[in-house]
Amino acid sequence: MLSVKTLFQEILDNDESFRLFCSIAAGGESQGGWENGRIAALAPVSQRALVPKIARHGADEDKHGRIFNALLRKRGLRPADVPHETNYTMLLERYGIGLAHEQLNGDEPLTEQDIITYLAHSRVTEQRASEQMAMLRKHFAHHPDLGRAVKLISNDEDNHLAYCHEELLRLARSGHGRSIQRILRECALTEIRVYRDVSLAVMGHMGRILGWSRARAAVLAAGIHGVYAYERLVGWRRMVSLAPPERRDALGGPPVPAPEYA
């Protein structure tokens, strides 16, 4: 029977598919760490109070990248080249979501509007990350190799999502509500399209590695398209709502160090 758990178990049990999975995850997390580090360095004076939280966000993402690389080393594997069509972060930037790397590579301070764009982008992508890690935590919290990593990263992603809610609500109260909602909607509608395309690309590569039949590949592709259709119709709304989080000041403390995985 084809299920999320059996699908991921198959990917985890094969060295080559596991290598690609961890390499894609590590690359995305490391890229997020760099982006947050640059945003912290360029934050405007009006938002300097946010800098420690942005830096903490980046430190967590860097930590996640190291964890996925450590999981590879533990199995004696080297990182794989990440196919460009599976690079979620790069594709989001290509479609104009978030702050451009050209801007982050410069020395010009960001504006308050740039910070709003960063937080709105993060609110959408952290929703996806939180949901994905919750799914992995549900099925693999007790996995001998992946369990500790999944639980730690899942907790961090929930913190990141809470932080985005809290800071966007603060900025909405200061008069940016309409701008925030506009950017959130644009980000969400683009993200669900990019997520569909990346999911299809990743499953295509996994299918070739694992030798899936055409029928099985077609079923998985249909499922991905079905998720996209739902999200395009109504599902995107969960990514744009804002509510006071249960976790307050989730990124207010120092980063939690990662245990050694290899």
Average pLDDT over residues 54-76: 97
pLDDT band at 145 (very low <50, low <70, confident <90, very high): confident
Q: Which tens digit of pLDDT belongs to each residue from 243-258?
A: 999 999 999 866 666 5
Indicate the average pLDDT of the chain.
94
pLDDT at 144: 86
Average pLDDT over residues 167-188: 97
Among the listed residues 54, 3, 62, the one whose alpha carbon sits nearest the alpha carbon of residue 163: 54
Average pLDDT over residues 77-83: 96
What count of other Cβ atoms lies within 10 Å of the Cβ of residue 188?
24
Contacts of residue 170, Cβ cutoff 8 Å, sequence gap at least 6: none
Q: Which tens digit of pLDDT belongs to each residue from 146-172?
A: 999 999 999 999 999 999 999 999 999
pLDDT of 68 above 80: yes
pLDDT of 77 above 90: yes
DSSP-derived secondary structure for 148-199: HHHHHHHHHHHHHHHHHHHHHHHHIIIIIHHHHHHHHHHHHHHHHHHHHHHH
Burial class (CB in 10 A: 0-12, 13-18, 19+), 248: exposed
Q: Which tens digit of pLDDT belongs to each residue from 223-236?
A: 999 999 999 999 99
pLDDT band at 45 (very low <50, low <70, confident <90, very high): very high
- What's the rounded Cα separation, in Å, for the pair 18 and 48? 40
What are the tokens at 9? 């178990």
pLDDT at 262: 41
Q: Which tens digit of pLDDT belongs to each residue from 1-19?
A: 568 899 999 999 999 999 9
Confirm if 215 and 128 have CB atoms less than 8 A apart. Answer: no
Q: What percent of the chain has pLDDT over 70?
A: 95
Q: What is the DSSP letter of 107?
A: -
pLDDT band at 259 (very low <50, low <70, confident <90, very high): low
Average pLDDT over residues 174-182: 97
pLDDT at 4: 85
pLDDT at 65: 97
Average pLDDT over residues 67-95: 96
* Sign of the alpha-carbon dihedral angle for 191, 128, 135, 211: positive
pLDDT of 238 above 50: yes
Average pLDDT over residues 62-83: 96
Confirm if 39 and 110 have CB atoms less than 8 A apart. Answer: yes
CATH code that applies to domain 4-239? 1.20.1260.10
- What's the rounded Cα separation, in Å, for the pair 53 and 255? 10
Phi and psi dihedrals of 211, rounded to 5? 70, 40
